[in-house]
Structure 1
Amino acid sequence: MIKIVVLWGFAALCLNTTQALKVEITQGLVRPDPIAITNFHSDDTSLSKLGENISGVVKADLERSGLFEAITRDAFIQTEESLAVGLPRFDDWRLIKSRFLVCGTIKDGGGEGVVIHFRLYDVITGQQMLALSLTGNHLNWRKIAHIVADQIFSRVTNEKGFFNTQMVYVETMGLRGKNIKKRLMRMDQDGENVETLTDGKDLVLMPRYSPDGKLIAYLRYVGKSAQVHITDAATGKTSPYGDLNKLLKGFGEMTFAPRFMPDSKTLVMSLVKGGKSAIYRFDLTTKTLTPLTPHRSIDTSPCPSPDGKHIVFTSDRDREGGEQIYVMDSDGGNVRRISFGEGKYSQPVWSPRGDLIVFTKQRGQFYIGLMQPDGTEERLIAQGYLVEAPDWAPNGRYLIFTQEERRSNKGQIRMVDLTGHHQRTVKTSRDSADCTWSPLLN
């Protein structure tokens, strides 16, 4: 457990002197702000390296957002030792053109614990923006660093952070071919702390986190049968809700494309009968299955709005329009088409903020695009040989998607902001795809 304490001696100064900088990262170029991040100082030599490692992760997290550019430490004039016992010499930090300054200390917290004190300054105004103390186990030092980065990101941008999160993805084992094997993997958002969730004996696809972060739903093939399966996120074992193959036996040929409703106790998914797929709602508590669309076409990829009132999905019901995006009320009523551009639309996912829908589009090549919930203001933010399977960061301001390399046919996970200008590859060890982002962790 990691405890966060506001240093109240500085609270009034934090709240009254420097208002959070509201950053709207939706379109156009965003110029990153220069930020100086010192090593977290300790007089205890055994903790000095840990303080350096923590500040290094904070630096990497903030740069990953595309909103910050870390100044090299060789340029620093004032030392971390001086900052540990006194106030910043702001003229020194202005001289190296730093916009923000982060400095801190690390101390022994007793047993395996450590205590981190850090401060964030606005160098231009010379005012302190934030002062916090974190206590936790030294073995969780990376998690501590992600929390520090989240706090800084939130204070500067007035948006929630996304660094203390995890990702679950599908890893292809060995060479692609007839005996292909895939397994679920989990890692921190920066590609560290990788762990295996399934053994690769069964083919797995489409992992999805529940909004409360406690469950993971995914498609599992056992023999020739493909059904939605639910795993406990904490243990990696089958959840009490178990295998829907047994619960839904006799209802249809297969279930796939699961998404959790906001209550994390209900699923929406596709169910196939007679070669046609329709959207269903399944209550995990009562085991009640409710059809939302008829089996007249291929309806798939349902995703609820964050308030649970609407569901966006893909359908080919308009034979002339082909595969398009539709929105309906959560009870299946008031169905309306919202995509009207050229090409095929698929895999729509509602933003956690409710303001945007991301989708995959095929028009000659593949694209990742965004639109308003009513289908207006469509714009494309990523393109490539095969880009697909987008998902949102919990703050609704960043996205991940899969991009397949043309020569190797291997997948990689890419991250992009809402402008489309800041893209990077998420570190994974092998052929990776179908990534889902967890909510912000405790």
Structure 2
Amino acid sequence: MRSELCVHDLGTGDTTVLLTHEGIIEAPNWHPDGFLLVNGEGRLYRVPLDAPRLEEVPTGRVGGLNNDHGISPDGRRLAISGKSETGASCIYLMPLEGGEPVRVTDKVPSWWHGWSPDGERLAYAAVRRAGGPVSLYTCRVDGSDEVCVADDFDHIDGPDYTPDGEWIWFNGERDGRVDLWRIRPDGSGRERMTDGETVDWFPHPSPDGTLVLFLAYPAGTQGHPANLDVALRVMPAEGGESREVVRLFGGQGTINVPCWASDGRRFAFMRFAP
């Protein structure tokens, strides 16, 4: 499988391929200092924008990383998710440049997805009762004060805060449908934001708060698989019609985590080729 790390410019409509890799790399984040972070086969890599190449970020004792990782609002720390210590996904924090991770979530499985704009809380998907669904939780960055924000869905994934911290967007499955939703961090004010034919995953509010980028699977897709013809779409943050901005071969790993540039005009994504 060939992976292409791409940047799309909403202003021009152009897509640029930054890096081609023979193998699987996934889930780009965008650091304001001019580099991207990606996951590749259980490891974390830095990709400089001015000279794109894979530079491994050391993650200490924690290996087997999945693609749920992200950058703190101040740009100094990373959240990572891995299972080498616990046997199921656990959230850790570590310095941006790499180093020994500090465990955050006492309970597993927990998959990181969002950081509150004040840097004080993490949003994540987790299972907390035997046989229970994957639900939406938040906690303080030290792992304390875990709060269940929403648990009455068949499955929840991809929670991401709006830049004002007023909402958490997520994809929620009910009765075989997967739509985008938003909810207040205290669990109030829940709203369904999409209800079309596509199966919608991984919503990411833009840094200026005006748009939400998401991954649209074909109708009838189960879960969030790889290797399908999918689309990236944007919609107004207050709701309304979405529009397609990129069509690609991908899915799992394309935009699992926040991927906007700080200018709110560009975003990074992965596409793949057999």
Equivalent position amino acid for 2:255 in 1: A
Q: Which amino acid aligns with 2:92?
A: H
Match of 2:239 in 1: 375
Name the amino acid aligned to 1:258. H
Matched residue of 1:323: which SS? strand
**CA–CA separation in structure 2 for the residues paired with 1:168 and 1:286:** 24
- Greater CA drift, 391-400 or 269-278: 269-278
The alpha-carbon deviation at position 164 of structure 1 amounts to: 3.8
The answer to whether the 8 Å contact 2:77/2:95 transfers is yes
Distance 1:195 1:26, change over 3 A: closer
| Equivalence for 1:284 | 141
Q: Which amino acid aligns with 2:171?
A: T
Amino acid at match of 2:169: V
Which has the higher Rg, Structure 1 or Structure 2?
Answer: 1
Indicate whether 1:392 and 2:264 are aligned.
Answer: no
What SS does structure 1 have at the residue aligned with 2:134? strand
SS of residue in 2 equivalent to 1:169: strand
Contact in 2 for aligned 1:369/1:382 (Cα 8 Å): yes
Q: Could you tell me how far apart the structure 1 residues matched to 2:246 and 2:238 are?
A: 21
Asked whether the equivalents of residues 160 and 203 of structure 2 are also in contact (C-alpha less than 8 Å), the reply is yes
CA distance 1:377–1:197, shift in 2 (3 Å): same
Equivalent position of 1:338 in the other structure: 193
Alignment partners' CA distance in 1, 2:54 and 2:12:
34
Alpha-carbon contact 1:305-1:354 (below 8 Å) kept = yes
Give the secondary-structure state (helix, strand or coil) at the position aligned to 2:163: coil
The structure 2 residue matched to 1:203, chosen from 64, 86, 106, is 64
Partner of residue 44, structure 2? 184
Corresponding residue of 1:302: 159
- What is the CA-CA distance between 1:297 and the residue it aligns to? 2.2
Percent identity for Structure 1 against Structure 2: 20
Whether contact under 8 Å (2:110, 2:127) holds in the other structure is: yes
Q: Offset at 1:254?
A: 0.5
Q: For 2:39, give the aligned amino acid.
A: V
Matches within 5 A, 1:182-261: 182-192=42-52, 194-198=54-58, 202-205=63-66, 206-222=68-84, 224-234=87-97, 236-239=98-101, 242-245=102-105, 248-249=106-107, 253-261=108-116
More helix by share: 1
Output the CA distance in 2 between the equivalents of 1:26 and 1:296. 33
Larger relative contact order, structure 1 or 2 (CA cutoff 8 Å, min sep 6): 2
Q: For 1:199 and 1:164, locate their aligned partners in 2 and report how far apart those are by CA, in whole Å.
A: 20
Residues in 2 aligned to 1:288 and 1:199: alpha-carbon distance in whole angstroms: 26
Distance apart, 1:190 and its partner CA: 3.1
Structure 1 counterpart of 2:164, one-letter code:
D
Aligned-pair CA distance for 1:315: 0.4
- Give, in angstroms, the shift of residue 192 of structure 1: 4.1
Q: Which has the higher strand share?
A: 2
- In 2, the alpha carbon distance for the partners of 1:280 and 1:381 equals 30
CA RMSD of aligned residues (A): 2.7
TM-score (norm 2): 0.77
What letter corresponds to residue 196 of structure 1 in structure 2? Answer: E
Higher alpha-carbon deviation: 282-291 or 340-349? 282-291
Q: Give, in whole Å, the separation in 1 of the partners of 2:182 and 2:113.
A: 17
Contact 1:257–1:300 (CA under 8 A) maintained in structure 2:
no
Query: What is the Cα deviation at residue 294 of structure 1?
Result: 2.1
